[in-house]
Structures are given as C-alpha cells and as structure tokens.
Amino acid sequence: MSLNGSDVMSPGLDERSLVCRSHSGEQARRVGVRLGELLRAGDLICLEGTLGAGKTCLAQGIGRGCGVTETLVSPTFTLIREYERPQNGLALYHVDLYRIAGVQEALGMGFEDYLSEPTAIALIEWPERVKALLPQERLWIQMRYIDGNKRILLFSAQGARYEALLREFRKRAFGV
C-alpha cells in the first residue's frame, strides 16, 4: 500500500498532531523513510509503543531516509547503536531504553550526552522511561497494535521545529 491520503485516518488533530495507520512492516518503513528525509542534526524522535508495536520497523525507515546505509537493528541489549550518515559524516543514535530501570540508570550510562550532541539525530525507543530527562521540544510517535500487521501511529510535535517538521511530513507523505 502506498502512502497516500487514504492511509491518513485524520489529516491532523491539530497543527501539532497527525494520526495514520500502517498495514505492514514495509509500510511503516516507508513512513519512516519519508520522515527521515526531513530530519537534521539535533533532532529528537521518540518512539513509544508496546513490544511488537513496530518501533524498530519505523526506526529502520527513518535511518534509511536520513542517509544511513546500514540496516538499523534493535539495540535492546546494547542500549545504543551509533550509525554514520556517510553523505555528511553526521550520526544517528538509535537508543532502546527497554532494559533500563529508570532515570538514574540512564544518567549513569551517559544518556544526556546523546541528547545534547548537536551533530546527531537521536531516535529513542521506550522514551517514556526517561521522560523527565527529555527536552520539551521533540517529535513523539506513539504506535499502537491493532491486529496482524496493522498499527496506528500518533505523531505529536512539541516545539516550533517539530511543528514545522510535522507539517512538511504531512505534505510529503500524505499530500494534506
């Protein structure tokens, strides 16, 4: 299924949010590619959802879209994987916080250093575990399992940069 207006459940709840559905892992990757093409150094993308919600599929598309040539794999056991973006030498930090106990453990592993790196994009799975450490400005994507391969994606932009990002993403991905 392509990314067109029929995939949008709502053209937006308001200027800061968008709801869409994905019918397969490959479609989630295509959504991610469209988003990844718009990202720049310093951006923070938070992926929330239960196990099996499709966060890693979406992350793989984001990586591809922002120029990572390797396939992103879940960093569940390593917590953080760094990918180089060869076209510009910048980095993508793919962080998975599923196995951490909370804020103190995140601080102990130097989590804040990854958030403040101005030459990288930070892509975080399970961000709700360290919400107190996250900047107020970010793009938060909540993924919900429906059944089979179907997922609902709720995009919430917080801050001017992310509101502009979401507007451009909405135009490019869904034509609305």
Residue 130, domain extent: 5-174
* Residue pair 54/151 in contact by the 8 Å Cβ criterion: yes
pTM of the model: 0.88
pLDDT of 10 over the 70 cut: no
pLDDT of 96 over the 70 cut: yes
The CATH code of the domain that includes 165 is: 3.40.50.300
Strand arrangement, sheet containing 150-158: 8-14, 17-22, 150-158, 138-147, 44-48, 120-125, 90-96, 80-85
Helix/strand/coil for 48: strand
Helix/strand/coil for 86: coil
- Give residue 145's pLDDT: 87
Q: How many domains does the chain have?
A: 1
- Give residue 76's pLDDT: 64
